[in-house]
Structure 1
Amino acid sequence: MDPLTKVPVKPTGAGEMFQLLRDGRPRTRSELAQVTGQARSTIAARIDHLLALGLVGPAGEATSTGGRPPATFAFQPSARIVLAIDLGATHARLAVTDLGSAVLAEHQEPITIAHGPGPVLERAAAVGRKLVDQAGRSMSDLVSVGIGLPGPVDHATGRPTNPPIMPGWDDTDVPGIVRGLLGVPVLVDNDVNVMALGEHRAEFPEVDHLLFVKVATGIGAGVISDGTMRRGAQGAAGDLGHIAVPGGRDLLCRCGNTGCLEALASGRAIATVLSEQGVEAASTSDVVALVRAGDLRASHAVREAGRDIGGVLAAAVSLLNPSVIVIGGNLAEAGEHLLAGIREVVYRRSLPLATQHLRIVASRTRGRAGVLGASAMAVEHVLSPEAIEGWVQ
């Protein structure tokens, strides 16, 4: 769309024309010529370029209207692969996907993000190479890497910015380090933004206004509005964990303030409360295990944490008016206790118009939101019109 005339701009180069084929629907040269307004000879040359790259392949013949049936062409997601890396405070999940974000091979293991960028990123690259091999592909097929990090990230540079649980990572050139290890472009974003993107693309593609809330060691949100990720001026949008809980306890948070949502309702905070009550709990996983085992004190503590989260989300709902709030992260595995607490307060405190059609649901991606989002981020980069033109040239 031309920003001045508001007239749709017709595709000109191979990269722009390729965007028409990304939905996977087979099209003929004639259909593409009609949409773009270009000559059949130009369309044929563009198709030849995309065929040579393997991004487009023959997709059978269209129905004949007289004479020989015309050939059709469609996007081939298997042409290349990307590596998706989801790093948390205590875990790493990696996946190799095709250009449609279909998972071909994946791996999960415990890590300690505080060990620093060198050991963590070198390990991630080593596992990534193994996954490429497990997927039956070669490193020459790898075209990009997407990474989610558990802290604030300057999206323009991919560098962490004063991440509170990532000592030694501040201003580290994560894209540069990983590109040096794997030799392809690297995209980096905050893990919650990446998870929001993954959940949106995989499970809620029809929803234009979505909040993804991660509740684990920390608490954060990814904001999708008008179908687009909203990162804010410095990439700090969605930092729910450091908003004060209305009427909450005056507990010290790791950010230096008191009464923050993370200090009251994170998995770590709940584990601390239970420990003070004589219940053995040192982590979010311990809390989830206790709830699943039917421990009443743990269930009550998780529901109360849900209410605190709901108190902060109620303001976000009135401000942003999402259609769906997706609750993910390790603590969401505790099930309905957390969701019930959130729903109770959000529906009571938010404006009726904002909650009229609002759904508050658990993540549907079964722990894959991070890698699916990292894959989508990497794919968007390598399949952009500019990137395709670079390949053609």
Structure 2
Amino acid sequence: MTQGSEGSPEAGTAAANMARAGDLFQLLRDGQAHTRAELALATGLARSTVATRIDALMQAGLIGAAGEARSTGGRPPSRFAFNPAARVVLAADVGATHLNIAVTDLAGNVLVRQKLQQLVEDGPRIVLGRIVSVGLELLASVGRCDGALAGIGIGLPGPVEHLTGRPVKPPIMPGWDQFDVVGFIQSILDVPVLVDNDVNIMALGERASYWSDHSNFFFVKVATGIGSGIISNGELQRGANGTAGDLGHTATPGAEDVQCACGNVGCLEAVASGPAISRELKRLGVEAGNGSDVLRLVSEGNLLAIQALRDAGRAIGGVLATVVNLLNPSVIVVGGSMGDAGEQLVAGIREVVYRRSLPLATAHLRISHSLAGEESAILGASQMVTQHVLSPEAIEATLAALTKAS
């Protein structure tokens, strides 16, 4: 047998790993066009087997024709590529006072989005009901119906048990504790529903969109609170109870007498969040009602505001220096309302992290503000769904259902 055929040991191993159409599909998710011959060479499968898999994926609409490759003699071979328009995803980011809802394709491209004022404290039935009603309106606006939905992804501003999608003792979400988010949505729309906390999905969205070549990635959200999303070896780390990344309630040196809303003292959130910075400025005689006021003052060149934001960055950097030594990420991204707009905040973080972390851990470390901005949560909610519905197992189930129906 020639190299690349199914008879060689190496090819046999590759073929075993690509035995299903769902596995072969993963090679096509890069968006590049491939011929049957290229796929056969990459997988070790026979061309006839590849052709069968391609036909099944085309029937499902997951891939489509993408022109012809250059001929090396005879008829030019056809090329095939992932069809992200085959289905759509409804993505929702729930904040303390807002809803950000979007429809994306399967590649995470936002087709339409809408941001609304909505208090999370109004309760799950009102908030989730609005996500569904507005989501259906957005679907209709791009000419799609609920039958085109591949799934729904939702980010919530509190701890979530990811396997069930139930919020767990969320501090700013009265009435949400242990509410069956998935069951409520699926009583209206019979599609997969995935739920996670907002910082985790922000980490997913930021990395997928701008840092996909970094497998060890750390996202910090600095806003009304402080949290983080941890991606290690390419996988989101949620911890035993879904509370991994709760950076805001880490003890901070020099803040031992500062009361935190969680009931403890000395938490990072109590000295470096948006409200904490505005409180410090008020103490210094500068009128700043919230984080937005802080950023406005910084943009106006107020020296006290600039210093306060830089000091908050230093406090965050002190905690992140420990994170760098423990987890050794190659990228730290700072987002959230304060992180997106606070260059002084990021500068303070860099100052301390590079000084306090081990030289080997920071040799190639990049610390950046968010590139996705407020879109990161929407992109992450979409990414969470597509990771699920485009997995090899999910693709096999889709193809099996099509075969049964035909």
Once the two structures are superposed, the pairs formed by residues 356-371 of structure 1 within 5 Å of their partners are 356-371=363-378
Contact 2:14 / 2:44 at 8 angstroms: preserved in 1? Answer: no
1:26 is aligned, of 22, 29, 33, to 33
1:385 is aligned, of 379, 386, 392, to 392
Contact 1:154 / 1:235 at 8 angstroms: preserved in 2? Answer: yes
CA shift in 2, pair 1:278/1:181, >3 Å: farther
CA shift in 2, pair 1:175/1:113, >3 Å: same
2:341 pairs with 1:372: no
2:135 pairs with 1:136: no
Gaps of 5+ in 2: 1-12, 401-406
Once the two structures are superposed, the pairs formed by residues 1-393 of structure 1 within 5 Å of their partners are 9-393=16-400
Secondary structure of 1:223's aligned partner? strand
Query: Cα deviations across residues 124-155 of structure 1 (Å, max 9, x unaligned)?
Result: 11221122122232222111111111111111
Number of the residue aligned with 1:3: none
Query: Cα deviations across residues 334-369 of structure 1 (Å, max 9, x unaligned)?
Result: 422111211121122111221222221110013111
CA distance in 1, matches of 2:380, 2:161: 17
Secondary structure of 1:367's aligned partner? helix
CA distance in 1, matches of 2:247, 2:224: 13
CA distance in 1, matches of 2:281, 2:329: 33
Paired amino acid for 2:158: G
Number of the residue aligned with 2:8: none
Gaps of 5+ in 1: 1-5
CA distance in 1, matches of 2:79, 2:14: 28
Number of the residue aligned with 2:4: none
CA distance in 2, matches of 1:14, 1:210: 31
TM-fit CA distance, 1:222: 0.6
Paired amino acid for 1:106: R
TM-fit CA distance, 1:7: 7.6
| CA RMSD, 1 decimal | 1.8
Paired amino acid for 1:328: G
Paired amino acid for 1:91: H
Contact 1:291 / 1:334 at 8 angstroms: preserved in 2? Answer: no
CA distance in 1, matches of 2:58, 2:255: 60
TM-fit CA distance, 1:378: 0.7
CA distance in 2, matches of 1:153, 1:366: 23
Paired amino acid for 1:182: L
Contact 2:336 / 2:373 at 8 angstroms: preserved in 1? Answer: no
Secondary structure of 1:315's aligned partner? helix
Paired amino acid for 1:263: A
CA distance in 1, matches of 2:214, 2:45: 34
CA distance in 2, matches of 1:121, 1:162: 18
With normalisation by structure 2, the TM-score equals: 0.91
Contact 2:255 / 2:265 at 8 angstroms: preserved in 1? Answer: no
CA distance in 1, matches of 2:121, 2:259: 21
Query: Cα deviations across residues 251-293 of structure 1 (Å, max 9, x unaligned)?
Result: 1212221100111111111222223344333322222222222
| Structure 1: 4+ residue segments shifted above 6 A | none
CA distance in 2, matches of 1:45, 1:100: 24
TM-fit CA distance, 1:184: 1.3
CA shift in 2, pair 1:37/1:318, >3 Å: closer
Secondary structure of 1:313's aligned partner? helix
With normalisation by structure 1, the TM-score equals: 0.94
Say how many residue pairs are matched.
Answer: 388
Number of the residue aligned with 2:7: none
Paired amino acid for 1:352: P
